[in-house]
A and B are shown apart, each in its own frame.
Chain A
Amino acid sequence: MSRYLIRRFLFLLFVLWVVSILTFLIFVKLPPGNPAVRAAGRTQTPETIAAAKAALGLDKPVWVQYWRFAKGLIPWPGFFLNRQVYFSWSNFVPVRQQIVGRLPVTIVLAVGAGIIWLLMGIPIGVISAIKRRTLADRAGMLFALFGVSAPQFWLAYVLLFVFWYKLHLAPSSGIPIGMGVWSAVLHGRFILPWITLALTYSAFYVRILRSSMIETLDEDFVRTARAKGLSERRVIIRHALRVSITPVITLLGIDLGYLLGGAIIVENVFNLQGVGQFSIQALFTNDFPAVMGVTVLAALFIIVANLVVDVVYAFLDPRVRYT
């Protein structure tokens, strides 16, 4: 197990390194235009542009420039998202400060939605699998089709229009100034965003779990369990579901990792001031330090989530062994 973890950790570092190279190329070296011109402000002279170039380290060799950027990815005090490099060109505050301030909103959004879509997706997937070709199965698949097909922004607007604007059953978008994240949760400010995410994500889970479960129910060990006289409930939940759920866990890890990097559409439509909203603001204003910070953070979340998922496999599926 420990050898496996070390190997995965080294792989994590390798992937992060690749991401850092790509991010550096995409956001520092490839964009048309000179970042120094952008940083020099509106009124420029060759001298001010040269000064900005020096301040940004763009007058140094490429490998020095890369190191300046890459050391901001090392999770070590003074290095990680350091303000010398990761300083917003739009808000003029350290990117780390922006991300840290916004992360709680994104975490609450992602985790809350994750819980809801699991609570929706797992039962529907299981019922669809064990009651194949019945009305319940068709209804489950219809739900899945709707969730997969409905664009998130459309669903978000429809929910807002119906439940806030027309029926006044839910609060409007955003978190009022001065209201903390937990208070916002208690005031129902996350309900519609959670539902929007959950409806779209749970649809995938229903389909995956259904097919995985159908496959598992035909396995020998399930037949054996039934032959031993276990109750159908015990067979389904303790044996079949435990094995079938591994692809769901994989997906959950990736989805949560992805969402922690920012649920861009939902955060924007519901004006939740999370990491996703920050990244889109940064993109629109060509705020490259902020975009780089968010990109790398999102990559980190996805990679770590994958690692966690791999470890969790062992506890869920007795057939998995780490070597």
Chain B
Amino acid sequence: MKRHARLLALAASIALAAAACGGGGGGNKSNQTPQAGLKKGGVLRIGLASDVHQALDPGREYYTIGWEFLKCCLARTLLAFNFLGPNEKGNDLAPDLATGLPESSSDGLTWTFHIRPDVHYAPPLQNVTVTAQDFIRALMRVADSKVAASYPFYYSAIQGFDDFSAGKAKTISGLSAPDPATLQVRLANPVGYLPYVFTLSASSPVPPSPSDASAPLGVATGHDQNYGQFVVSSGPYMWKGADKIDFSKPADQQAGPPGFQAGKSYVLVRNPSWKASTDPLRKANIDEIDVTVGGTVADLTKKIEAGELDTMDALPAPEGIRDYATNPDLKPFIHSDPTFGTWYINMNTAMPPFDDIHVRKAMNWVVDKSGLLRLVGGSIQGPIATHAIPDSMVPSLKGYDPYSTPNHSGDAAKAKQEMAQSKYDTNHDGVCDASACKNVLMVIDQTDPQPKMSALIQQNIEQIGISVNMKQFQTTTMYTKCETATERVPTCPSEGWYADFADPYAFVTGLFSSVSLTPSCCDDSLMGATTAQLKEWKYSNTTPTPSIDDQLNACVPMLGAQREQCYANIDKALMENVVPWVPYRFANQVVITSKRVQNYHLDASTGWISLSQLALAGGA
């Protein structure tokens, strides 16, 4: 659920000071019209300032850019999207390895997928075709606790999934393959988001082991945490040299492909088994994708300008953004598109003074959101958020702004009116006078411009009597502290959250459901915490925190417009009845590319460049 926000935070913040410089606006709304005469061929060169997260293991990888490599190139799934932006129907489900969208039984409990025929794996398994059993194998791997997959909870609704995961069953009873071309999924309870979880790379097919057909995890057997380099591709590309992997050897004796150098470089070349006729979604214009890891953002930016690289994972440094925003020659090569992400100030509903809803509402009134946007880089970084779920996911929420202030600059008078109702404002003058409001611990990201943004928030909330004790941490540490209930952090203003797929379930459940009150992630505001939990975590106030579990559960089986309305109502309940956040920005993805890059699109399903659609000027 919180895919990649950490690295995005880092990447964004590196560039963000650009903010003031680049000014608001700007940013090419992508050259989204497909260009005629695109040529095939060429080598796309990508520089990554930060490496992928989980060595590109389809079951474990949890980073925007890692997902793009998997979804574009290596790991096709039963369903997918068109690999275009949210404004180009990039949220609409489409069949990929399935022949069509799944058929659902009338009770919503049985879903049937028909597998596309004649799809062959990459060498060395070029004679093996994709079958239904390969998807069952993939999901068994996701359920296997040794693998420590990143999002098994999405598949929990499948009958028997949790039992298999707990070691109580040898198979997942809800998965069956009546014939090689048919996969049947039986659910324990109906869930409207089910088709979406078959777009995630963890569900991509795992072929059988050529040396042991009975190996339950097929070629992934023995590669609990490093399957990424041994992935047998079903997509248009494969790791360079992957055709030489000897799967007949035991896993620990198999040599990884030379095209996969963990932490250093990754090289993708064409998969000779892939046929455009069996893959209507991917253009696969490029012959090879070379990825180098390392280097500074400033250096990578210069390399893109010099034509040595075609793109990178981070935003350029401030002067780079300024160049791109002001130089007419460069402006077409900076792209800004909406994603499924929101940046927000988190408030821990179990920690004073944020255990009082009036304080939380006062925070929403007083924060200068346009100031925060200016500091972060202006509107190129995305529009001001006036509620929690991004408009790109629930369009009907557009314009909903329960804490509307002039120019989104905050309204101290309204904030004081709200604060006056709080138990922490004993004389009801609109300024908190309780000791709980003094020296409130605020954990922030140390990466620029987050400290500047936090300083602005500090100034804003002093008007309602809240003073903070600001502690800066490296991005990952900051998230760890804010996500760990036992750290008892009252507020974190540097957090961002991105949904895993276009369904709002993926946005709200991990954040606001009590099932997400795990030891380390991700219900940072502690919604739905019980007295027993709060005691265990040593909170002074052990009154149960507000919960929207019932509303969340009610939305799960719904479909279509009813589903969207249900999540719109959840957003409103969050903003008006619970108020765990001050949302301040809906995240855009900003990317720069070299002049060679043509047909740029954002891939809404990953939030990064759609590699499957790109072409290079002149082709080879």
Binding site for B on A (CB under 8 A): 33, 37, 39-49, 51-52, 88, 90-93, 98, 101-102, 157, 160-161, 165, 172-174, 177, 268-269, 271, 273, 277-278, 281, 284-286
Contacts and interface: CB of A to CB of B under 8 A. Distances in A.
26 contacts: A37-B519, A40-B148, A41-B148, A41-B149, A41-B150, A42-B62, A43-B150, A43-B151, A43-B518, A44-B520, A47-B145, A48-B145, A91-B262, A92-B226, A92-B228, A92-B262, A93-B256, A101-B264, A102-B264, A157-B298, A172-B306, A173-B299, A174-B294, A269-B299, A271-B296, A271-B299
B182 to A, nearest CB: 29
B225 interface: yes
A174 B292 contact: yes
Q: Please tell me the size bucket of the interface on B.
A: 35 or more
A120 B560 CA distance: 74
A160 B262 CA distance: 27
Interface stretch (B49-57, B278-286, B331-339): B49-57
B265 interface: yes
A174 B151 contact: no
B263 A281 contact: yes
Given A43-B152, A98-B263, A174-B295, A165 B302 contact: yes
A172 B148 contact: no
B476 interface: yes
B294 A273 contact: yes
Nearest to B480: A33
Contact of B54 (A47, A92, A173): A92
Interface string B451-480: 000000000000000000000001010001
Contact of B299 (A44, A51, A98, A160): A160
B620 to A, nearest CB: 17
B294 A284 contact: no
B267 interface: yes
A262 to B, nearest CB: 13
B141 to A, nearest CB: 13
A157 to B, nearest CB: 7
Given A88-B263, A98-B263, 14 more contacts: A39-B148, A41-B148, A42-B150, A43-B150, A43-B152, A45-B518, A88-B262, A93-B262, A173-B299, A271-B294, A271-B299, A273-B263, A273-B264, A281-B294
Which of A42, A46, A91 neighbours the largest number of chain B CB atoms within 10 Å of its CB? A42
Interface of B: 50-51, 53-55, 57, 60, 62, 145-146, 148-153, 166, 225-226, 228, 256, 261-265, 267, 290, 292-296, 298-299, 302-303, 306, 308, 474, 476, 480, 484, 518-521
Nearest to B262: A91
Which of B62, B145, B153, B293 neighbours the largest number of chain A CB atoms within 10 Å of its CB? B145
Contacts of A98: 262-263
Contacts of B476: 284-286
B588 to A, nearest CB: 25
Contact of B295 (A39, A46, A101, A271): A271
B296 A269 contact: yes
A92 B303 contact: no
Contacts of B153: 43
Contacts of A48: 145, 148
Contacts of A43: 148-153, 518
A10 B55 CA distance: 41
A101 B70 CA distance: 26
Contacts of B262: 88, 91-93, 98
Contacts of B60: 41
A172 B267 CA distance: 20
A125 B477 CA distance: 47
A160 B57 CA distance: 36
A154 to B, nearest CB: 12
